[in-house]
Structure 1
Amino acid sequence: MKFKYLLYLYILLGIIEIFLVGFQINFSIYLRPICVVLIYSFYVVNVKRHNYFLLFYLTCELINEVFFLIDFSKYFILVLTCYSLATFSMLYHIWPVVKRANFKTGWGDLLRPFLGLLGILFIFWELIFLVFKNLPDYYVFFPALTALLSWIFFCSIIPAKNKHPDNFALYFIGGSMAVMAPTMFIYEFLWSSSIVLYFSLTSMLLLKIFLVWYLINLDKILNCKEEYF
């Protein structure tokens, strides 16, 4: 990939952001738009075109993260609305890969992803019972939960049915999402520990790195002439 210094600078500023949250949250928030510019620029210089769905995703995630840090409970509707829009918008990118995957045969390959997904569902189910009574708004919560589970489902199923090596990144993308969303709720409503917050912020950072890396390689995956199904 070209212009890797943009990615390295993004990672450096992302680490500084996470470090500063415990000391100077305002300065940490000011760095976040710069990080969005860096990671989007890294994508554009590699694929040589703009991607307005990705830009929309990064903007929604920026709003989501900033207002989560300011006051998650106060801006609960805004945060979860942006999260839902961002997550559903990413399905646009992976849908061509989904359509090429063969879901009619070899369901034995899906056993591990389904077991993993069931495990995640169990954890989410228990977490919902713990935080549900404290949620400021129930109506926006369920679309956000649907977006989360849909994204994790596709990130788990696609690599099992399309074994292109670059699809392995979807496991990291889905895993980062599976960590990010619950830790946001745990930190706000159950255990306001800096450790939980750092886990959440680190997963946000890793999610964007793996996602942009995957999207840069998406054309190569779709145009690959080898059979990976």
Structure 2
Amino acid sequence: MKFKYLVYLYIFAGVIEILLIGFHFNLSIYLRPVCVFLIYSFYVANVKKHNYFLLFYLTCELINEVFFLIDFSKYFVLVLTCYCLATFSMLYHIWPLVKRTSFKTNWSDLIRPFLGLLGILFIFWELILMVFKNLPNFYIFFPALVALLVWIFFCSIMPAKDKHPDNFALYFIGGSMAVMAPTMFIYEFLWSNSIILYLSLISMFLLKIFLVWYLINLDKILCSKEEYF
């Protein structure tokens, strides 16, 4: 992969951005668009073309993260709307992979992903019961929850069905998302501890690295002549 200095700059700026959140809030916020520019430039430099769906995703995520940090409760609808748009826009990228994948299989191949999903669903259900009465808006919450579960479902099932080595990144993408979303709610509505906030910010930071790395390799995965099913 070329132009690695761009991702190194993104990592450096991202770490500074996270560390500054408790000391210089405004500077941390100003660094976020810089990080988006760096990670998107890393993608474009490698694939030699623009990806407006990725740019749309990164812009929605930027709005999501900034207004979560400013005041999640006040901007609840805006944050979750951007989250829904960002998450569903990523289905555009993996849909060609979904279409070519056969879902006829032995249950033994799917038992681990399903057990993992059941565990995640149980945790989310318990979290929902704890925060539901405190939510500023119920109507946007459920589309956001559906977006999260759909994305985690595909990130869990696709690597189990299409065993191309690069599809392993989907586990990291789904895992980052599975950490990011609950910790945002835990921090805002249950336990405003800095450890929870940093865990959420780190998952946001890692999600972009895994996602962009995966999208850079996606054409190679789709054009692979080998059978991984």
Output the amino acid matched with 1:80. L
Output the amino acid matched with 2:2. K
Q: Which residue of 2 aligns with 1:17?
A: 17
Q: Tell me, which stretches of 5 or more residues in structure 1 are unaligned? A: none
* Matched ranges for 1:176-215 at <5 A: 176-215=176-215
| Stretches (4+) displaced over 2 A | none
User: How many residues of Structure 1 are paired with residues of Structure 2 in the alignment?
Assistant: 229
How many Å separate the matches in 1 of 2:158 and 2:106?
Answer: 13
* Matched ranges for 1:215-226 at <5 A: 215-226=215-226
How many Å separate the matches in 2 of 1:25 and 1:96?
Answer: 40
Shift of 1:105: 2.1
Q: Which residue of 1 aligns with 2:47?
A: 47
Shift of 1:107: 2.8
Percentage of identical aligned residues = 84
* Residues 1:132 and 2:135 aligned together: no
Q: What TM-score, normalized to structure 1?
A: 0.99
Deviation digits for residues 162-205 of structure 1 (CA, Å, limit 9, x no counterpart): 00000000000000000000000000000000000000000000
How many Å separate the matches in 2 of 1:25 and 1:126?
Answer: 32
Shift of 1:101: 1.3
Q: Which residue of 1 aligns with 2:104?
A: 104
Task: Give the stretch that moved more between structures: 93-102 or 163-172.
Answer: 93-102
Q: Which residue of 2 aligns with 1:56?
A: 56
Deviation digits for residues 70-117 of structure 1 (CA, Å, limit 9, x no counterpart): 000000000000000000000000011111111012232010000000
Q: What TM-score, normalized to structure 2?
A: 0.99
How many Å separate the matches in 1 of 2:80 and 2:55?
Answer: 18
Deviation digits for residues 191-229 of structure 1 (CA, Å, limit 9, x no counterpart): 000000000000000000000000000000000000001
Shift of 1:24: 1.1
Output the amino acid matched with 2:213. W
How many Å separate the matches in 2 of 1:218 and 1:74?
Answer: 38
Q: Which residue of 2 aligns with 1:156?
A: 156
* Residues 1:68 and 2:68 aligned together: yes
Does the residue aligned with 1:140 lie in a helix, a strand or coil?
helix
